[in-house]
Chain A
């Protein structure tokens, strides 16, 4: 992983020096442990800030929307799929981008780590699959694979799908993972139980819209929840309004979501926001054989018509 970091710095410095890009989008250390933040490097003197470790879960494609300058962007598998989606949706031009591809080995879920220990974590360092957690006066170690983000644990597209250069060897993709275990579990419930499941799931929601802001798909200049003329959805804390926001936002991501987990990562109260989008991802895959952002050459199923599109729901 640290090898990645040096390669990223080297690439960023080279691209900025030769002037082929105006800006590099990557990660730098945050002010809290396990909280790397996106950064925008415009001068080659600043590339030392760039880092890469298992806390780079934020989806950087989110920062490309409608950018006009030449940009180099650090992209893991899911980021690259969102970049493809951005290009397909005319939110950025391919020529404006230099993609520094990072074969990803999964990102850790800081909530899982924090919940394992009662004391304040001061620092987390990693060496391959081993994480060292530092507390005041003591130290513990963990295996990274035990604390991966849920979407990373079941990810089958860790390698970038679109890149101009790579910072390391492509990694072996996982096989035999059940990506839709959660969806299948909910599908087996009765309608009342399903309703209750999502009622409980959403009960802590404060409607801060962090999930929407972290999502690279949510780039509308005015989101439907912010619109007041007409007002599409109630703005209150009523469970019905909260639910309406979540399932409508999910619908807007249908056939576009790459399951990057940015929404879940951003949620301040730890709601499993992916429970909505996973169902749509499963449907897209089962009905159209579609996984978002895998290729520039194919239009998404929801903006094309095929005579054999499934339409059993129309009576």
Chain B
């Protein structure tokens, strides 16, 4: 993750969690925070490939 952020992925776009199958409430919380932080960052256009140019 450190290298990903080192080469320019915004902090908050890549997240890791450890959630047990019994921790449904934690799962919901994590999904909510992840979606909120990614929405705040907006679409990741950096990783969009350019359409192939055909002459």
The CA-CA distance from A241 to B50 in the complex, in Å, is 11
Determine which of B7, B16, B30, B48 lies in contact with A194 in the assembled complex, contact meaning CB atoms within 8 Å: B7
Interface string of B28-41 (1 = CB under 8 A from A): 00100100000000
Cβ contact within 8 Å between A196 and B4: no
Of the stretches A100-108, A114-122, A243-251, the one at the interface is A243-251
Contact flag A191-B5 (CB < 8 Å), given A313-B16, A315-B17: yes
B7 contacts across to A, CB distance below 8 A: 194-195, 198, 243, 247, 276
| CB-CB nearest in chain A for B12 | A191
Question: A315 touching B16 by the CB < 8 A rule?
Answer: yes
Instruction: Known contacts A234-B49, A238-B50, A240-B47; decide if A198 and B8 are in contact (CB<8 Å).
Output: yes
B8 close to A313 (CB less than 8 A): no
With A240-B49, A276-B3 known to touch, is A197 a contact of B8 (CB < 8 Å)?
Answer: yes
Whether the Cβ atoms of B30 and A279 lie closer than 8 Å is no
- B residues near A129, Cβ cutoff 8 Å: none
A98 to B7, CA, bound (A): 41
Instruction: For the complex formed, measure the closest distance between the CB of B16 and the CB atoms of chain A, giving whole angstroms.
Output: 5
Q: For the side of the interface on A, what is the size category?
A: 20 to 34
Q: Is B6 within 8 A of A186, CB to CB?
A: yes
Interface size on B, residues (CB 8 A): 23
Q: Is the CB of A191 within 8 A of B11?
A: yes
- Pair B8/A194 contact, Cβ less than 8 Å: yes
B15 in contact with A194 (CB, 8 Å): no
A-B interface pairs (CB < 8 A), number:
59
Is A177 an interface residue, CB under 8 A from the partner?
Answer: no
Q: Is A223 an interface residue (CB 8 A)?
A: no
Q: Is the CB of A191 within 8 A of B17?
A: no
- With a cutoff of 8 Å between Cβ atoms, the chain A residues found around residue B18 in the complex are 314
- Distance in angstroms from B24 CB to nearest chain A CB is 17
B54 within 8 A of A: no
Nearest-CB residue, chain B, relative to A194? B8
* Interface membership of A187, Cβ < 8 A: yes
A283 within 8 A of partner (CB): yes
Q: Please tell me if the beta carbons of A187 and B6 are within 8 angstroms of each other in the complex.
A: yes
Q: Using Cβ atoms and an 8 Å threshold, which residues of chain B touch A183?
A: 6
A243 — which chain B residues lie within 8 A by C-beta?
Answer: 7
Q: Type the 1/0 row for A189-212, where 1 means its CB is closer than 8 Å to any CB of B.
A: 001111111100000000000000
Chain B residue with the shortest CB-CB distance to A251: B3
> Chain A residues with Cβ under 8 A from B52's Cβ?
236
A239 to B45, CA, bound (A): 13
Cα A240 to Cα B11 with chains together (Å): 19
- Say whether A78 faces chain B, with CB atoms less than 8 Å apart: no
Contacts of A193 in B (CB 8 A): 8
B6 contacts A196, C-beta separation under 8 Å? no
Residues of B contacting A84 with CB < 8 Å? none
* Contacts from B to A (Cβ < 8 Å): 1-11, 15-18, 30, 33, 46-50, 52
List 19 other contacts, CB 8 Å, given A191-B11, A198-B7.
Answer: A183-B6, A191-B5, A191-B8, A191-B9, A192-B8, A195-B7, A195-B8, A195-B9, A236-B49, A239-B50, A240-B49, A241-B49, A247-B3, A279-B6, A283-B2, A313-B1, A313-B16, A315-B30, A315-B33
